[in-house]
Amino acid sequence: MKIKKNIPLIDQANKLGFWGGKFGGNYVPETLKKPIEDLETLFNKLKNDKKFLAERDKYFKDWVGAPTRFIKLENLTNHVGGAQIWSKVVSDANGGAHKIYNATVHCLLAKRSGKKFIIGDTGAGYAGKMLSMAAKKFGLKCKIFMGAKDIARQQPNVKAMKKNGAEVIPVYSGSQTLVDAVSECMRYWVANCDTTAMCVGSTVGPAVFVRICGWSTSQISRELKVQLIDEFGSVPKKLKLYNCVGGGSSSFGFWNEFMDYDKKQCEFIGVEAGGPSRSRKHAAPLTYGSKIGILHGAAQYVNQDADGQIEETESISAGLDYPGISPLHCFLKDTKRARYTAASDEDALSAYKTVTKFEKLRPSLEPSHAFSVAIKEAKKLNKDTIVIVNSCGDAYKDREILKKRLGKKYVEPN
């Protein structure tokens, strides 16, 4: 299994949609074959269409707010006393997280295909919030599927979705989290694919959804590369890119532009959700060696029992609380291009405390997982190393959890 150079990773799947011959694919009901094929044809055409690219860039710049900041965390660097710690503040993007890129592209595609309705899944509520924003912007009617447990713990985003005119549909099946929301959303699409477009909220699902999402979030690393050259004159000799990994959309987008660099120069570190330190449950299939299986239309490493039933996950961060992982990351793991590790709930909370103590930055619980590992590893490195953490979400949505776990003083607005 090998990564090819000079070909975007999203285009390295074989004819049936498998990366490395075994990750991804299209394990879907027959009814979805045609709509998926239509979407593939449309996307393959538009991703090389100059007019479409110009349209995308225009919305990314004027509406999403590209580029998001790239800043040095001076105080944190001094406190840690090792490598230089920087952050790509993707939470600057309109809506407060990277999910806006994928949502915008899906709405643009839906418009082109003449669909009037769009549906999507959400865990932390960001994918849903952004889809509701984009749907409103582009005049599409929107339904968001969200696990009942997540609705309870991510109220600020639920309110935002409703304000944008989206219908939020609670999902009560299974663990009532993201995994069930994705299943329910796909079921709805099975029944309504003639009139409705579907947006999968991360680099998961049938191959075309993995590709569209990865293509969209790659905006992050395109911006970062320019910013690095502006700052350092070239891409630094020792670069380490830390990102949390749930489904894997922000991390893939954060890394994509640096794929062809030697990993000794540009190392990718993915941080999964290890769950509560006292619990055996987790959402870290790559770190803890889960077996390959099929979830939501794609072959991937996934938490499951011996029979193939998908196992329940547990994490303080709703956005990482997913038993599977993008086929792209399975491929990056097996080709050893990226390294994966996990941080526990407690690690993430403690990193959140540290970051907010020293910096004017409030990473949500998802990127707090990445900060936890970055801070630990930066300590052992020297000043020549540039550590960058993608702060891909804002902690506003986590107010209630932070208040409960850390106390009121941690939720004062910036």
Partner 1 sequence: MLNPISLAFKKAKKENRAALLTYTVAGDSSKKQSLDILKSISKDADILELGVPHNTPVADGSQIQTSAYRAIKNGIKMNDIFKIVKEFKKSNKNKPIILMGYFNMIFQYGENKFLNKCNTSGVNGLIVVDLPWPENKDFAKKCKKKSIYFIQLLSPTTTKQRLKKIIKDSHPMNYFISMLSTTGGKLKVSPNSILKNYTEIKKIDPKKETAIGFGITEKTIGKLKSADGLVVGSAICKEISKSLKHRQNPVTNVSKLVKKLKSKIL
Instruction: Establish if 41 lies at the interface with partner 1 (CB under 8 A).
Output: no
Exactly one of 1, 4, 7, 29 binds partner 1 (CB under 8 A); that residue is: 29
Strands 239-244 and 298-301: unpaired
Integer Cα distance of 65 and 130 in angstroms: 13
Q: Does residue 113 touch partner 1 according to CB under 8 A?
A: no
| Residue nearer to partner 1 on the CB measure, 26 or 317 | 26
The Cα–Cα gap between 138 and 103 comes to 11
The answer to the question of residue 412 lying near partner 1 (CB under 8 A) is no
Phi, psi angle pair for 294, to nearest 5°:
-115, 125
**Binding window for partner 1 (CB under 8 A); candidates: 84-92, 267-275, 299-307, 333-341:** 299-307
Is 25 an interacting residue with respect to partner 1 (CB under 8 A)? yes
Here the tokens at position 376 are 């630990």
Nearest distance from C-beta of residue 5 to partner 1, angstroms: 29
Interface pick for partner 1 out of 64, 131, 224, 310 (rule CB under 8 A): 310
Query: Half-sphere exposure (CA, 13 Å, Cβ side) for 216?
Result: 32
CB of 20 to partner 1, least distance (A): 17
Distance of alpha carbon 90 from its chain centroid, rounded?
A: 11
Q: Which of 193, 210, 224, 389 binds partner 1 (CB under 8 A)?
A: 193
- Between the alpha carbon of residue 382 and those of residues 80, 93, 228, the distances in Å are 11, 31, 19
* Token pair belonging to 307: 């029979």
Phi, psi of 70 (to 5 degrees): -125, 110
Q: How far is the CB of 209 from partner 1 (least distance, A)?
A: 13
Q: Report in angstroms how near the CB of residue 411 gets to partner 1 at its nearest.
A: 35
Q: Which of residues 109, 220, 295, 338 is near partner 1 by CB under 8 A?
A: 295
Q: How far is the CB of 314 from partner 1 (least distance, A)?
A: 16
Using CB under 8 A as the binding rule, whether residue 26 contacts partner 1 is answered as: yes
Binding mask 331-370 for partner 1 (x = CB under 8 A): ----------------------------------------
Which CB, 216 or 304, lies closer to partner 1?
304
In sequence order, what E strands does 277-385 have?
292-295, 298-301, 338-344
How far, CA to CA in Å, does 39 sit from each of 193, 196, 208, 287? 11, 12, 7, 33
2, 6, 30, 412: which one contacts partner 1 (CB under 8 A)?
30
Please give the residues from 167 up to 186 whose contact with partner 1 meets the rule CB under 8 A.
173-174, 179-180, 183, 186
241 vs 283 by CB, closer to partner 1: 283
Collect all residues with Cβ–Cβ distance below 8 Å to 111 and sequence separation of at least 6. 138, 139, 140
- Interface with partner 1 includes 315 (CB under 8 A)? no
Kindly indicate which of the ranges 63-71, 211-219, 295-303, 348-356 contains the residues binding partner 1, using the contact rule CB under 8 A.
295-303
Q: How far is the CB of 174 from partner 1 (least distance, A)?
A: 6
3 state DSSP class of 160? helix
Q: At what angle do helices 207-217 and 30-46 cross, to 10 degrees?
A: 30
Q: Where are the beta strands (DSSP E) in 264-337?
A: 266-275, 292-295, 298-301
Type of residue at 15: K
Q: Residue 25: CB partners within 8 Å, gap ≥ 6?
A: 16, 17, 18, 206, 207, 297, 298, 299, 327
In the complex, the smallest distance separating the C-beta of residue 284 from partner 1, rounded to whole angstroms, is 19
Min separation Cβ 8 and partner 1, Å: 24
Binding footprint of partner 1 on the chain (CB under 8 A): 16, 25-35, 173-174, 179-180, 183, 186-187, 190-194, 291, 293-297, 304, 306-310
